[in-house]
Amino acid sequence: EAVIETRALGKVYSPGTEAEVIALQAVDLRIGRGEFVAIMGPSGSGKSTLMNLIGCLDTPSSGQYLCDGVDVATLDAEERAALRLEKIGFVFQGFNLLPRMNALENVAMPMGYANVPREERLQRAREALASVGLAERAGHRPSELSGGQQQRVAIARALINRPPILLADEPTGALDTKTGEEILALFKRLQAEDHTVVLITHDPDVAAHCDRVFAMRDGELHEQEVAA
């Protein structure tokens, strides 16, 4: 079954004004559990807009989005935020870690709102850090970690609520090639554990690691042929 399903999904910014932008046009997308998907395309083509919709950060102007079977349009803002916490983990190019918190505290962060007692929260954060190979770095602040280690902390943070979907915006963009390959290997392992991974990338070598590749152009999404 599809974990991410969109039907004629569209997004218009500032509709009916001089500043109107049609950012997304009638996107039909079905992504199943355990798929590893890349979205490519030039700047301004609509990639962030689509990711914001898939991530339940924004609402569409037209069409439908089913997030793990839930029709997001039926939810109010609070319910949408709760769905996001449960279903989606986010990973960014710049890691987005809080500099004054150590690795463990950064990983435990997204549960702050989720009504999980502090001890359980920290225990889960320890497990998440161990699962990305960073158990012994729990007490380090981001500035004391390498770029690849910081990204692994960010991935552990994305995993803390055990979401089925991981969304990553240029996750290897700030890393050297070898470190980027390690991060991609980690995503592959998460895929094998049944996570659905969707990443935005400008790098064809990164997209080559994915099962399916989509190209965004002028708000339209087209699936590419992938060499076997």
Site residues for ligand ADP per CB under 6 A: 13-14, 21, 23, 41, 43-49
Place of tokens 């990338």: 201
Angle (CA) 68-84-191 rounded to 5° is 55
DSSP-derived secondary structure letter, 224: P
Q: How far is the CB of 180 from ligand ADP (least distance, A)?
A: 17
> CA 207 to CA 221: how far, in whole Å?
15
Give the dihedral of Cα atoms 88, 91, 97, 103; nearest 10 deg. Answer: 80
The two three-digit tokens of residue 84, written as one number: 């996001």
The radius of gyration of the chain from alpha carbons, rounded to an integer in Å, stands at 18
- For ligand ADP, give the closer residue by CB, 49 or 102: 49
φ, ψ of residue 21 to 5 degrees: the values are -130, 125
Which of 44/69 has CB closer to ligand ADP?
44
Question: Given the complex with ligand ADP, which of 47 and 157 has the nearer CB atom?
Answer: 47
User: Of the two residues 46 and 142, which places its CB atom closer to ligand ADP in the complex?
Assistant: 46
Min. distance of Cβ 155 from ligand ADP in angstroms?
19
Q: How far is the CB of 55 from ligand ADP (least distance, A)?
A: 11
Considering the complex, what minimum distance in angstroms separates the CB of residue 13 from ligand ADP? 3
| C-beta of 100 vs 222, nearer to ligand ADP | 222
* Shortest separation between residue 6's beta carbon and ligand ADP, angstroms: 15
Burial class of residue 87 (count of CB atoms within 10 Å of its CB; 0-12, 13-18, 19+) = buried
